[in-house]
A and B are shown apart, each in its own frame.
Chain A
């Protein structure tokens, strides 16, 4: 069988799986959702898995995903996950406000949602479809475009569980809302789930969200997540995303944000896990004076591969965006970054800055970086810059000349490189968790460590 046939038959497999899904598990869904799913499935059936011949997928080969016969993860009857197992994946090790999922299914017994203040919703998507159907209908599948990526379409088609985050107008929330997606790979089967997250922060509200994806095993599984974010006028929404899937995992994700006038939205994303991951981030600045910050750190080794595909769309005047992605690639790992900035006609006084730096710790590691600027307004400021390469010898020498061994100097420089993104985390407890993780990663490499 040729590879092309193989991938083609995969699309058919998902079409068959959709039939079964639509007839059984998802039968109780409201008509509008069924319709949106069907439309999305039709889209996926139309385009199938992306191929390396497509510009957007030039550096990321998803055939390994297409080849595995993934099946939708069944609701685990007894998943065996305890609160203790969840704890390391919570900010500062404390429950706070957290919705926990196991293999894509909401796990109320592991979640802590009883202390939510008035005006704040953190609910499973299934629950929200019953309790706040109008809100879900208004936004779900309305922002993240299925045309943008086959994986977004697939996620919409199989929308079943996930989370709704809603912060009512003017509500100021300091404590972070947390979503924890734990993966327990199947014994024989390779499971797949499509977590769907909808976060709506109404006008003038302020909130923080942490999305955490963690694998509790080495086996193959596939997370295909879609997150839609709506930030109202003058609202302020800080979000963090930590991807620590297992070594055998595939992770595809879409994050789409839509911002109103004078709003602030930030996403800091950390990529540590999965053998293959791809994250499509689209941020639309759709109100005058909106501000968006995207930061990312990838820390990969072995033969891990990650691809961040970001689009910042300036649709209105006087908006600012700032994007800063650092990647550290060890062993034979590889990173891809695409930074697209679109300035729509009339989006004058746009101020946008994009930076992508890649540190290659071995000669086998590889990084590809491509900025794409599409500017249709004449009074704008857009800058971009990218670097890639090994640690600079002059830097190593300078640090060595202060008494640190060459290995420790390398570790220190790598840590500094990672710290640029760690410093973007304003939640202290999360920052210290991530800092420990970065130090642990450095210590796990051969030679060199940072202390203190």
Chain B
């Protein structure tokens, strides 16, 4: 589904990713772990198409298409979704209206009929029921005045509605207490399927206890320096990152 080869990218002249390789198949969950400044968030943003990052080398293929040639909105309509670490507020636009607009943009691309407000409201209600969340967020302006936890939940709600093929979670657990991490991870778990892949970018392993990855990769100095399974994440939790980054530096 996703093939990243020797990806090099940076921002404002500074090279951050220095030859990253990753292959993600449908149904797989990949965790990307690493110390601060290792390039985790850069990787997430480059996949989503942030215009501020410059790709200087390598390739990214998504379902056979050159992802790097596509604008952020084209990627989204093709089925790529990024849950932001810092979602922005959109004043004056309710969550429900925003979600409906986003979903219809995707449906139009897929040649499906756009959902009217009533059909959309029914669909949204079903989704909320599925995750077990109430509708308290949906009539508020998007992320406007939301707490940190509400913003993260809102990203997951968008994921639930947009049903992407590839979902990238960028530090979705950061700033959340343990109950909120469980709550969010349990919601994400509901959308795990043989067709859908996840890339979970995180500093800490705790979210992975509730959303177990098939693969764990350690990113350091702009490259993946070690890969393994959940055991690797647990080891990182115990020993920190230093032993890996030191080994990689040798």
Quick check: is B51 within 8 A (CB to CB) of the other chain? yes
- CB distance A404 to B101 under 8 Å? yes
Report B-chain residues with C-beta under 8 Å of the C-beta of A415. Answer: 92-93
Query: Which of B83-91, B122-130, B216-224 lies on the face that meets chain A?
Result: B83-91
How far apart are B211's CB and chain A's nearest CB, in angstroms?
A: 22
How far apart are A270's CB and chain B's nearest CB, in angstroms?
A: 15
Report B-chain residues with C-beta under 8 Å of the C-beta of A451. Answer: 101, 104, 114
Quick check: is A11 within 8 A (CB to CB) of the other chain? no
Quick check: is B105 within 8 A (CB to CB) of the other chain? yes
Which residues of chain A (210-268) have a CB below 8 Å from chain B? Answer: none
Query: Which of B8-16, B68-76, B196-204 lies on the face that meets chain A?
Result: B68-76
Mask of B89-107 contacts with A, CB within 8 angstroms, 1/0? 0111100011011111110
- Give the distance in Å from the alpha carbon of A409 to the alpha carbon of B49 in the complex: 15
- Give the distance in Å from the alpha carbon of A217 to the alpha carbon of B105 in the complex: 38
Report B-chain residues with C-beta under 8 Å of the C-beta of A53. Answer: none
Quick check: is A406 within 8 A (CB to CB) of the other chain? yes
Contact of A404 among B105, B114, B117 (CB under 8 A): B105
How far apart are A389's CB and chain B's nearest CB, in angstroms?
A: 15
Using known A-B contacts A394-B88, A397-B51, A409-B73, determine if residue A403 contacts B105 with beta carbons closer than 8 Å: yes
- Give the distance in Å from the alpha carbon of A420 to the alpha carbon of B91 in the complex: 7
- CB distance B104 to A405 under 8 Å? no
- Give the distance in Å from the alpha carbon of A372 to the alpha carbon of B87 in the complex: 34
Using known A-B contacts A408-B105, A450-B101, A452-B101, determine if residue A401 contacts B82 with beta carbons closer than 8 Å: yes
- Give the distance in Å from the alpha carbon of A392 to the alpha carbon of B90 in the complex: 11
Using known A-B contacts A397-B72, A405-B73, A452-B100, determine if residue A417 contacts B84 with beta carbons closer than 8 Å: no
Quick check: is B141 within 8 A (CB to CB) of the other chain? yes
When C-beta atoms are compared, the residue in chain B nearest to A411 turns out to be B101
When C-beta atoms are compared, the residue in chain B nearest to A407 turns out to be B73
How far apart are B162's CB and chain A's nearest CB, in angstroms?
A: 7
Report A-chain residues with C-beta under 8 Å of the C-beta of B88. Answer: 392, 394-395, 398
When C-beta atoms are compared, the residue in chain A nearest to B76 turns out to be A403
How far apart are B96's CB and chain A's nearest CB, in angstroms?
A: 10
Which residues of chain A (420-452) have a CB below 8 Å from chain B? Answer: 420, 423, 450-452
Using known A-B contacts A397-B51, A452-B100, A452-B117, determine if residue A402 contacts B91 with beta carbons closer than 8 Å: no
How far apart are B171's CB and chain A's nearest CB, in angstroms?
A: 16
Quick check: is A400 within 8 A (CB to CB) of the other chain? yes
- Give the distance in Å from the alpha carbon of A419 to the alpha carbon of B98 in the complex: 13
How far apart are A305's CB and chain B's nearest CB, in angstroms?
A: 25
Quick check: is A312 within 8 A (CB to CB) of the other chain? no
Using known A-B contacts A405-B105, A452-B97, A452-B100, determine if residue A418 contacts B92 with beta carbons closer than 8 Å: yes
- CB distance B91 to A404 under 8 Å? no
- CB distance B97 to A402 under 8 Å? no
- CB distance A399 to B158 under 8 Å? no
How far apart are B119's CB and chain A's nearest CB, in angstroms?
A: 12
**Most chain B CB atoms below 10 A, which of A399, A402, A450:** A402
- CB distance A419 to B105 under 8 Å? no
- Give the distance in Å from the alpha carbon of A304 to the alpha carbon of B100 in the complex: 34
- CB distance A397 to B91 under 8 Å? no
When C-beta atoms are compared, the residue in chain B nearest to A326 turns out to be B92
Quick check: is B48 within 8 A (CB to CB) of the other chain? yes
- CB distance A419 to B101 under 8 Å? no
Report B-chain residues with C-beta under 8 Å of the C-beta of A401. Answer: 48-49, 72-73, 75-76, 81-82, 84
How far apart are B21's CB and chain A's nearest CB, in angstroms?
A: 24
Quick check: is A413 within 8 A (CB to CB) of the other chain? yes
- CB distance A412 to B93 under 8 Å? yes
Quick check: is A30 within 8 A (CB to CB) of the other chain? no
Report A-chain residues with C-beta under 8 Å of the C-beta of B101. Answer: 404, 408, 412, 450-452
Using known A-B contacts A450-B101, A452-B101, determine if residue A406 contacts B73 with beta carbons closer than 8 Å: yes
Which residues of chain A (323-337) have a CB below 8 Å from chain B? Answer: none
- Give the distance in Å from the alpha carbon of A357 to the alpha carbon of B92 in the complex: 13
How far apart are A15's CB and chain B's nearest CB, in angstroms?
A: 48
- Give the distance in Å from the alpha carbon of A404 to the alpha carbon of B98 in the complex: 10
- CB distance A400 to B76 under 8 Å? yes
How far apart are B43's CB and chain A's nearest CB, in angstroms?
A: 15
- CB distance A400 to B97 under 8 Å? no
**Most chain B CB atoms below 10 A, which of A403, A409, A418:** A403
Quick check: is A416 within 8 A (CB to CB) of the other chain? yes
How far apart are B168's CB and chain A's nearest CB, in angstroms?
A: 10
- Give the distance in Å from the alpha carbon of A405 to the alpha carbon of B82 in the complex: 16
Which residues of chain B (22-55) have a CB below 8 Å from chain A? Answer: 48-52
- CB distance B71 to A416 under 8 Å? no
Report A-chain residues with C-beta under 8 Å of the C-beta of B51. Answer: 393, 397
- CB distance B72 to A416 under 8 Å? no
When C-beta atoms are compared, the residue in chain B nearest to A422 turns out to be B92
Report B-chain residues with C-beta under 8 Å of the C-beta of A398. Answer: 84, 87-88, 90
- Give the distance in Å from the alpha carbon of A450 to the alpha carbon of B102 in the complex: 11
How far apart are B86's CB and chain A's nearest CB, in angstroms?
A: 9
When C-beta atoms are compared, the residue in chain B nearest to A420 turns out to be B92
- Give the distance in Å from the alpha carbon of A406 to the alpha carbon of B76 in the complex: 12
- CB distance B90 to A423 under 8 Å? no
Quick check: is B18 within 8 A (CB to CB) of the other chain? no
Report B-chain residues with C-beta under 8 Å of the C-beta of A402. Answer: 73, 76, 98, 102, 105, 158, 162
Q: List 30 A-B contacts (CB under 8 A).
A: A392-B88, A393-B51, A393-B52, A394-B88, A395-B88, A395-B90, A398-B87, A399-B98, A401-B49, A401-B75, A402-B73, A402-B98, A402-B102, A402-B158, A403-B103, A403-B106, A404-B101, A405-B73, A406-B71, A412-B90, A412-B93, A413-B90, A415-B92, A416-B91, A416-B92, A416-B93, A417-B91, A417-B92, A419-B93, A452-B97
Q: Given A412-B93, A416-B91, A451-B101, 18 more contacts at CB 8 Å?
A: A392-B88, A395-B90, A397-B51, A399-B90, A400-B73, A400-B76, A401-B72, A402-B162, A403-B106, A403-B109, A404-B102, A404-B105, A413-B93, A415-B92, A416-B90, A416-B141, A420-B91, A452-B97
The 3 closest A-B pairs by CB, nearest first: A416-B92, A419-B92, A403-B76
Interface residues of B (CB under 8 A from A): 48-52, 71-73, 75-77, 81-82, 84, 87-88, 90-93, 97-98, 100-106, 109, 114, 117, 141, 158, 162
Interface residues of A (CB under 8 A from B): 392-395, 397-406, 408-409, 412-413, 415-420, 423, 450-452
